[in-house]
Structure 1
């Protein structure tokens, strides 16, 4: 996604210090059409993992195409992707950091065929795609990070291409590298950490396979020794041995299943909980750029990874041992039979290998489609009230059906590929016994082996097919896990909000806050949201942040809560830089009510006691009184135990806000932060809550939407365009007749009623404000 229209003059990186590598195709790009389907190196499809990721995903595809397999997360960090996307300028600069020379160019559609493969195209004024080549039929092939490979007619291409492209070429300083991410190593590490359990499973499995291997040898002895001699005593011994082995095999299979269930449960607990523990420790910006449905899929991907790794790894170890053992025994008896059996057993593996690339691409596309479908489904269900009141539920279902159809289409393409593979495997499986029987029969007729040995080796050869085919499939399945691993790595490789080993726990805070020349923006190439804000807030002060929408009030509140980090300047709590403390522990001493508080699907009691689970009912009731909520709760049939649906759909907006206020008050915070926390309340209820909170004795900072409620605050901070333009109490600011005075008049419909301060206010106007004005 791009957050700005294409520049009038396309960006160009400075001339590279290293010369540009130039091939024949670089000099004559039209030659790329000759390699349409024969020997053309594919531009790998790398899905954007979030809406704003398209520019980073395109540059990652280009890097992989040229041989530098860096993860998407590294590229995203390099080009400073924000929640609004990325600019063409940022892509050009980011390409240079990876050893590529990039320049922005203007291109007409007829000239596109002259572009080198791997050129990034600006698409539909809000997106980026990668140009691959012009196909022989005249269609243009692109790789879209949102949907995968697409073939477009010239007319379709013309409608979407903006005429701006970023040409990318490697310099001599460009170094190829293989990917070290997106693999199953962390899961294998956890698997091998359970060495005791793993050893038991492997031993039991080996014993079971040995028993299966002995049965054909016994059959051979029956034919060669029992039948010719009519030796009934030996026959009953061998039958007893076979029955004993079958019973032992059943018992061993049951033991193995119990051990496997235990291992999977342990790995599930460790991997999924570890993943979730790391994810919740990430900065809030990570969650703002990703949908809930996509993150839910990533949590579920851990179970898929665990299932494949446990079953396929164990299978690979055991099957590898027995493939070698089977091959040695067969070749020792008859070399020709052994070589033929090995060749036939390898054929299914070669079939898998031939389809590997397409299978991986389809699986990656499938995951992407499922994530989009599930994300929208979560939104659809969560926004049902809005959809119903707007009469738009059918429109929403139609949109989801389109996304679901994409999932089904990819599933169909994967199904067709699987059907071809299965048909080839079945053909090999049906022909193999006859070929081996023919080779074995020939050896018997030439007196090279006995009939019993031939039948035993034939049975062993058939047994060889299963382990060898399974071994190859296991190795390929673990390669196919790259799509799952990439999505999990995107979370696990993102640094946590803080390294908690490098910060200290805060003491009991007093509530004194200070901002020293604080500025903030979301990325180095983005506009400033806040600039040079300095404030001193004493212990117990009641502070209001006022100003027009977009002036930076909510951003300032999030900086105080530590959910955003200043781009410049520092924030102090009780004289100590807040980022020297463990922020999670700091927030446990704060009470913040956001603009849109979330209510969980449990009871009212549990929602209020969310941060203090062991709070008594008396304390919960007191907090509810402070939030003017007790009368509402008493009117409910089950009182504090009244169940609430997910998101609080059964509650009014005002009730949800008051539950959040009670939740914040219950923990007895040292600092209260309200981000328009009473916007859904009537004036009387809001005034009651403000009066109740005044007696708390803690520092309170409120983003106010009604100026009538802040007249008695100790300090009113007036913000405009990300700067503090005025600060003081109500009387002092009204006497100045500046920005605050205009806001008050505008809020009263230009009424001068509030413009004339009372005598008490005039006296207060001469008082020294609680904090000095910000200076630049």
Structure 2
């Protein structure tokens, strides 16, 4: 009797291992819970989930959840399994089985693993959470991962019908060749009928010719279908991805997201060709089966016996194939993530002189990928060898048994040759169908990763939301607090602030004070956990955010430029922006003269990540990009640090002229001291607010902060 196994659900990022464990436990109990549902219940912060959070989550799902601290290994035998355990002081895994020799764990990062007792005792962090379905536990039916994609096919029924008909005709032509061979042997060669020999040749040319034409047409229809699926699936995915909230991207690796995009091709192939081929194969299999029964019931039974053995081998190894495929996917994702972050951070790699360390890290990860690939291919090789041996034995046995029937005058030679050819097709088709089902299970691993993105809710957009067209730049924070999860401390708390149109407001504070969170709240990238934010008196929740952001210029500390021309980088895909407007913005940002010295001037291409220009030039191009739309509000995060005091003043004068509200995050005192309002933050709260003069007279945090920078202070005093 097979013991029920915990289904493996892979984590998309390190902070969601707890959610994955909860999802695995729930699926083990024949129910399901989406990641979105878990996010809604307890949230998921950038720092992960505590056991306290998981207990609340489990109880909310109807489990009787209890947390224990385990001192001795033997105590694990008393626990109801599966349960969630704390692992290596930083991770959650599911404990599936315990024995005197060791344990079986299901790790969201690597899959099902057998761990020796000594290794388990070393890595187990003593804390356990048991989950037993209680009276409030309600089983939910699992949603089909495949159904939404299969429904896409319904949008082009004519393509599907044409493809099915063409494929069916091709299958019939394939079936006709063995019948022609039977006719050749029994009606032409045996009676030595030379007149019919030429008719046979014409028939062969006719069958092969039509087979060629139908293959060409079928291939063209299949290409059109695959293009349609590509367009629908990729468009849906990319559109959804672009409209996801910023918080989603904070918790995902770029390499992992790119891998998910690439996974869509595999899903397309599975639906576009394999699914339709599989349906046709089943139909043809039935036709061939009827044909074989008519020809010889005894030979048919022998073919069925070998087919059943082969199918049993493929089905029995399906779960193992899926497991090793998942290992390869995880290893491949890790390699891609390391490669992506290395290329994005190549400046830091070079300046820190850590090329060898990065290479060692990559090599270790790549070795894991090679090991996973080798493991998968060895298993596939074993399965294919067994299947191939059965496939070679089946027709030979059919010939032996058929020869016996011929000698007993129960079968003609032509019938045997035709049956042999048809039985090979039957065996191949049955193997193809089983492998297709296995592929569905393997591809579902990729599909789950894609679905994780599609299940994530996009930014709220209601029909009653107001679209702001002429923003004045008045901002009001009313008792605003923000936390990353329902149980984590507030990143910013009880913020009350009013910014008037055209004002320059500076936010200063130490690292972790909440400055970046404030800027993200301003942009609507985070929704307040408590309180309200108003723009021109309208609640941010009632504003169509894209219309708001179009009127806000942003220059982040870490500037990202596109692999486009300087003109395109400043205009940022807005076809209504003229070269004159771009030049004007570049002049204000003090980058125009630098651009004019370049060989192609505004048509100069910026390399990926902007490596072919200096950091200061990147920053000023980003500033020009923010200014070209003449924004009502400008958020600057150390955005003028590359400008000297004189040029910074020119930018300030221009912004005053267009009455642009500015929110500046800066440490440079030349940027801060002329602000209309200076906000001093510490531990997520506003501790001081006022002008430079007012804050200096208070002799508080700001005053001490100002005096700490003595050289600059002296320079300003002069």
Same fold (TM over 0.5): yes
Are residues 472 and 504 of structure 1, via their aligned partners in 2, closer, same or farther at CA, if it must alter by over 3 Å?
farther
Are 1:131 and 2:95 counterparts?
yes
1:429-469 C-alpha deviation (Å, 9 max, x unpaired): 11111222233334334444433223322222222122222
Secondary structure at the aligned position of 2:273 is classed as: helix
Q: Quick one: distance in 2 between partners of 1:458 and 1:159?
A: 60
Scaled by the length of structure 1, the TM-score of the pair is: 0.88
Are residues 502 and 490 of structure 1, via their aligned partners in 2, closer, same or farther at CA, if it must alter by over 3 Å?
farther
Q: What does 1:600-619 correspond to in 2, within 5 Å? A: 600-619=562-581
Equivalent position of 2:105 in the other structure: 142
Deviation at 1:358, TM superposition (A): 1.0
Deviation at 1:329, TM superposition (A): 1.5
Equivalent position of 1:120 in the other structure: 84
Secondary structure at the aligned position of 2:470 is classed as: coil
Deviation at 1:614, TM superposition (A): 4.3
Secondary structure at the aligned position of 2:181 is classed as: helix
Which shows bigger deviation, 367-376 or 535-544?
535-544
Secondary structure at the aligned position of 2:317 is classed as: helix
Deviation at 1:207, TM superposition (A): 0.9
1:710-744 C-alpha deviation (Å, 9 max, x unpaired): 33322222323222233333333334444433333
Equivalent position of 2:377 in the other structure: 415
Pick aligned residue for 1:86 from 49, 58, 61:
49
Q: Quick one: distance in 1 between partners of 2:352 and 2:451?
A: 40
Are 1:435 and 2:397 counterparts?
yes
Q: Quick one: distance in 2 between partners of 1:747 and 1:215?
A: 90
Are 1:53 and 2:16 counterparts?
yes
Q: What does 1:156-305 correspond to in 2, within 5 Å? A: 156-181=119-144, 183-305=145-267
Secondary structure at the aligned position of 1:481 is classed as: helix
Deviation at 1:480, TM superposition (A): 1.8
RMSD, aligned CA: 2.3
Equivalent position of 1:713 in the other structure: 675
CA contact (8 A) 2:508 2:666 kept: yes
CA contact (8 A) 2:620 2:642 kept: no
Are residues 674 and 70 of structure 1, via their aligned partners in 2, closer, same or farther at CA, if it must alter by over 3 Å?
same
CA contact (8 A) 1:515 1:572 kept: yes
Secondary structure at the aligned position of 2:626 is classed as: helix
Equivalent position of 1:405 in the other structure: 367
Which shows bigger deviation, 394-403 or 741-750?
741-750
Are 1:62 and 2:28 counterparts?
no
Q: Quick one: distance in 1 between partners of 2:93 and 2:180?
A: 64
Pick aligned residue for 1:98 from 42, 61, 71:
61
Are residues 735 and 185 of structure 1, via their aligned partners in 2, closer, same or farther at CA, if it must alter by over 3 Å?
same
Deviation at 1:320, TM superposition (A): 1.2
1:245-280 C-alpha deviation (Å, 9 max, x unpaired): 111111111111122112112211221122111001
Q: Quick one: distance in 2 between partners of 1:165 and 1:273?
A: 43
Equivalent position of 1:317 in the other structure: 279
Q: Quick one: distance in 2 between partners of 1:310 and 1:580?
A: 42
Equivalent position of 1:761 in the other structure: none
Q: Quick one: distance in 2 between partners of 1:500 and 1:411?
A: 47
1:131-186 C-alpha deviation (Å, 9 max, x unpaired): 233345x23332222222333344433332222222222224434445325x2222
Q: Quick one: distance in 2 between partners of 1:128 and 1:43?
A: 15
Q: Quick one: distance in 2 between partners of 1:752 and 1:454?
A: 104
Deviation at 1:357, TM superposition (A): 0.8
Q: Quick one: distance in 1 between partners of 2:462 and 2:221?
A: 37
Secondary structure at the aligned position of 1:529 is classed as: strand
Which shows bigger deviation, 82-91 or 138-147?
138-147
Moved over 6 A (4+): 749-756
1:89-110 C-alpha deviation (Å, 9 max, x unpaired): 0011111122222211111243
1:334-370 C-alpha deviation (Å, 9 max, x unpaired): 2222232233233332221101111111222221111
CA contact (8 A) 2:254 2:340 kept: yes
Deviation at 1:548, TM superposition (A): 2.9
Q: Quick one: distance in 2 between partners of 1:681 and 1:549?
A: 23
Are residues 481 and 594 of structure 1, via their aligned partners in 2, closer, same or farther at CA, if it must alter by over 3 Å?
same
Q: Quick one: distance in 1 between partners of 2:398 and 2:494?
A: 83
Equivalent position of 2:341 in the other structure: 379
Secondary structure at the aligned position of 2:679 is classed as: strand
Deviation at 1:70, TM superposition (A): 3.1
Pick aligned residue for 1:542 from 504, 510, 522:
504
Q: What does 1:545-694 correspond to in 2, within 5 Å? A: 545-694=507-656
Are residues 563 and 72 of structure 1, via their aligned partners in 2, closer, same or farther at CA, if it must alter by over 3 Å?
closer
CA contact (8 A) 1:734 1:755 kept: no
Secondary structure at the aligned position of 1:193 is classed as: coil
Are 1:340 and 2:321 counterparts?
no
Are residues 611 and 733 of structure 1, via their aligned partners in 2, closer, same or farther at CA, if it must alter by over 3 Å?
farther
Deviation at 1:241, TM superposition (A): 1.1
Which shows bigger deviation, 80-89 or 59-68?
59-68
Which shows bigger deviation, 117-126 or 413-422?
117-126
Deviation at 1:626, TM superposition (A): 1.0
Secondary structure at the aligned position of 2:48 is classed as: coil
Are 1:110 and 2:73 counterparts?
yes
Secondary structure at the aligned position of 1:694 is classed as: helix
Are residues 178 and 578 of structure 1, via their aligned partners in 2, closer, same or farther at CA, if it must alter by over 3 Å?
closer
Q: Quick one: distance in 2 between partners of 1:445 and 1:79?
A: 77
Secondary structure at the aligned position of 2:532 is classed as: strand
Deviation at 1:306, TM superposition (A): 0.2
Are 1:727 and 2:689 counterparts?
yes
Equivalent position of 1:14 in the other structure: none
Q: Quick one: distance in 1 between partners of 2:378 and 2:81?
A: 29
Scaled by the length of structure 2, the TM-score of the pair is: 0.95
CA contact (8 A) 2:570 2:625 kept: yes
Deviation at 1:73, TM superposition (A): 4.5
Q: Quick one: distance in 1 between partners of 2:343 and 2:201?
A: 63
Q: Quick one: distance in 2 between partners of 1:214 and 1:131?
A: 57
Q: Quick one: distance in 1 between partners of 2:276 and 2:715?
A: 80
Deviation at 1:299, TM superposition (A): 0.3
Secondary structure at the aligned position of 1:108 is classed as: coil
Secondary structure at the aligned position of 1:229 is classed as: coil
Q: Quick one: distance in 1 between partners of 2:676 and 2:343?
A: 44
Secondary structure at the aligned position of 2:490 is classed as: coil
Deviation at 1:500, TM superposition (A): 5.0
Are residues 734 and 390 of structure 1, via their aligned partners in 2, closer, same or farther at CA, if it must alter by over 3 Å?
closer
Q: Quick one: distance in 2 between partners of 1:754 and 1:532?
A: 34
CA contact (8 A) 1:612 1:666 kept: no
Equivalent position of 2:433 in the other structure: 471
Q: Quick one: distance in 1 between partners of 2:131 and 2:714?
A: 63
Structure 1 unpaired stretches of 5+: 1-37, 757-776
CA contact (8 A) 2:502 2:656 kept: no
Pick aligned residue for 1:703 from 649, 658, 665:
665
Q: Quick one: distance in 1 between partners of 2:298 and 2:666?
A: 88
Equivalent position of 2:328 in the other structure: 366
